[in-house]
Structure 1
Amino acid sequence: MDVLSAMSVFARVVDLKSFSLAAAELGISSSSVSKQVSQLEQHVGAKLLQRTTRRLFITDVGAAYYEKCQTILEEVKEAENLVSQLQGKPRGVLRITCNMTFGQLQLSKAIPAFMEKYPDVQVDITLDDRAPDLVRDGFDMAIRIADPQLPDSSMIAREISKIPMYICATPRYLEKFGRPESAEALKEHNCLVFVYAANANHWTLERDGKRCTVQVNGDLKANNSLVVRESLLQHRGIANLADFVISRFVESGDLVQVFPDYQAEQLSIFAVYPDRKYTSPKVSSFIEFFREWLSVNHEKDLWAE
């Protein structure tokens, strides 16, 4: 039995709370997962997991062993990163998690060019607006959009770009309901809310150094900004969305800025990765590549869909 491999399988079963999900992720059969866990239990001489037809429970011994496995597997990854760093060539599988819409509209465009430049790197992307546990979920890094301060001291968060946010509506909506003249006036309007946004239903306006933040409400809340955008385009209300989500509709005149004389609110794009002694070349290379890609394409006004 390969003890290290069995430890890795056991850890993924615990993380995912499922033999079948761990098997699917690892690309092996459920019977193979079960066999490796059983062999590991025999090797350590203790029951690590209790299985029923419906649920999976980790024993007290299993929980303690899991923590040690995590430490060992992390040390192995550090050693691999050190070797890669000394070799200096990006290689291997790069697992990235990213915000859903940003991943669809922006990251997806950058990935082919990155893979062309670094042919020894394979990319595995998961799009999810929920914040992941990078170590537990096995990701090398995350691309997250958040306020300029991203709280998580256990991770390195490197700002690689900024995204302006615009409060906008269709001309037809504003003709029917009037254009709000202040942040407070937004309370009288139907505001469509993207719930996973860092600013969610607290929108900020700034002009001449003065900032005003107002809590807004409306009849639509969604966990995907494209859903909000579609209702916005159907004249349903006012929304506060990222530039890359709405720019081409502003250019076409389908949407207009509600407060054109105010400074746009800025959110930050972060590259987030575990605080390890050695950062693998595949991670550092991608961060530098994507930072440059965002800079060039932003300047070219290619942030539209």
Structure 2
Amino acid sequence: MDVLSAMSVYVRVVDLKSFSLAASELGISSSSVSKQVSQLEQHVGARLLQRTTRRLFVTEVGAAYYEKCQSILSEVEEAENLVSQLQGNPRGTLRITCNMTFGQMQLSKAIPEFMSLHPDVQVDITLDDRPPDLIRDGFDMALRIADPQLPDSSMIAREISKIPMYICATPEYLKTHGHPQTAEDLKKHNCLIFVHAANANQWSLERKGKRCTVQVSGDLKANNSLVVRESVLQHRGIANLADFVIARFVESGDLVRVFPSYEPERLSIFAVYPDRKFISPKVSSFIEFFKVWLDKHSNADLWSGVD
């Protein structure tokens, strides 16, 4: 029995809470997964999992062993990455977690190009707006959109780009409800909130070095910016959304910037990764690639009209 291989299988079974899902992910049969876990239990001399017809339970010993397996497999991967780093060739599986909409609309477009440049790298992406635990969940890195300060001292957070946020509405909405002239005027309008945004219901405007922040409210809150965007397009209110979310609608005239002469608020895009002794080639290569990709594909044309 290959103990390391069996450990890897066991970790995926525990992560997915399923023999069949682990088998599907690993590209092997369910019987092979079951056999390797059973052999591992015989090897360590303890029951690691309790199985019923409907559920899978990790024993107390199994939970402790799972933590050790994760640590060992991580060390093995780091050792392999060190060799790869010395050779200068990115390889292995790059596990990335990313904000949902940003992942759908930006990361998804960049990944095929990156993989074409680095054929020895496989990519495993999880889209989730909740803050990740990189170590616990086995990610190599996270892409997060946040304020310029990311309060997690256990991680390295490298800013790779900025995203302008535009307060926008349809021409029809503004014709019906009036066009706000100042930040304070937003209090009179139905402001639609993307709750996961770092600036959520605190919208800021800046002009000639002077900034004004106002608390807004409205009849819709959503944890996905595409839901908010759809309501804006239906003339339901005003929203503060990232440029990549609204770019094509601004270009078509379906949406307009409410304050075109003001500087937009900008949020930072961070590449976040564990604070280790070295950064693996697959992570460093992707960060450098994606930074250039974002610069190349930024919606600079949306800045037109800013004094």
**In 2: Cα distance, 1:246 partner to 1:222 partner:** 16
**In 2: Cα distance, 1:302 partner to 1:167 partner:** 12
Runs of 4+ that moved beyond 6 A:
none
Contact 1:92 1:282 in 2 (8 A): yes
Rate the CA distance shift 1:301–1:263 in 2: closer, same or farther, 3 A: closer
**In 2: Cα distance, 1:102 partner to 1:172 partner:** 28
Rate the CA distance shift 1:87–1:144 in 2: closer, same or farther, 3 A: same
**In 2: Cα distance, 1:51 partner to 1:224 partner:** 37
Alignment of 1:14-29 (within 5 A): 14-29=14-29
Deviation of 1:208 after TM superposition, in Å, equals: 4.5
**Amino acid aligned to 1:154:** S
Map of 1:60 onto structure 2: 60
Work out the percentage of aligned pairs sharing the same amino acid. 83
Map of 1:217 onto structure 2: 217
Map of 1:200 onto structure 2: 200
Q: Which deviates more from structure 2 when the two are superposed, residues 157-166 or residues 118-127?
A: 118-127
Alignment of 1:37-186 (within 5 A): 37-186=37-186
- Normalising by structure 1, report the TM-score: 0.89
Contact 2:157 2:270 in 1 (8 A): yes
Rate the CA distance shift 1:198–1:282 in 2: closer, same or farther, 3 A: same
Deviation of 1:75 after TM superposition, in Å, equals: 1.0
Contact 2:98 2:129 in 1 (8 A): yes
Contact 1:81 1:278 in 2 (8 A): no
**In 1: Cα distance, 2:246 partner to 2:176 partner:** 21
Map of 1:249 onto structure 2: 249
Helix, strand or coil at the partner of 2:298: helix
**In 1: Cα distance, 2:270 partner to 2:294 partner:** 12
**In 2: Cα distance, 1:119 partner to 1:301 partner:** 34
**Amino acid aligned to 1:23:** A
- Normalising by structure 2, report the TM-score: 0.89
Query: For structure 1, which runs of at least 5 residues remain unmatched after alignment?
Result: none
Q: Which deviates more from structure 2 when the two are superposed, residues 281-290 or residues 93-102?
A: 93-102
Per-residue CA distance 1:253-274 (angstroms, 9 max, x = gap): 2212222333211111111222
**Amino acid aligned to 1:95:** R
Helix, strand or coil at the partner of 2:278: coil
**In 2: Cα distance, 1:29 partner to 1:36 partner:** 11
Rate the CA distance shift 1:70–1:116 in 2: closer, same or farther, 3 A: closer
Per-residue CA distance 1:146-174 (angstroms, 9 max, x = gap): 11112223322111000010111111111
**In 1: Cα distance, 2:224 partner to 2:208 partner:** 32
Deviation of 1:245 after TM superposition, in Å, equals: 1.2
Helix, strand or coil at the partner of 2:273: strand
Per-residue CA distance 1:196-237 (angstroms, 9 max, x = gap): 222223322334444443333322222322222121111111
Contact 1:187 1:215 in 2 (8 A): yes
**In 1: Cα distance, 2:236 partner to 2:138 partner:** 40
Helix, strand or coil at the partner of 1:167: strand
**Amino acid aligned to 2:290:** F
Contact 1:169 1:237 in 2 (8 A): yes
Map of 2:292 onto structure 1: 292
**Amino acid aligned to 1:253:** G
Q: Which deviates more from structure 2 when the two are superposed, residues 218-227 or residues 41-50?
A: 218-227
**Amino acid aligned to 2:143:** I
Are positions 1:264 and 2:267 aligned together?
Answer: no
Rate the CA distance shift 1:260–1:214 in 2: closer, same or farther, 3 A: same
**In 2: Cα distance, 1:70 partner to 1:180 partner:** 54
Rate the CA distance shift 1:60–1:116 in 2: closer, same or farther, 3 A: closer
**In 2: Cα distance, 1:300 partner to 1:181 partner:** 24
Aligned residues: 303
**In 2: Cα distance, 1:42 partner to 1:110 partner:** 45
Per-residue CA distance 1:179-205 (angstroms, 9 max, x = gap): 233334323322222222222233223
Deviation of 1:13 after TM superposition, in Å, equals: 2.3
Deviation of 1:288 after TM superposition, in Å, equals: 0.6
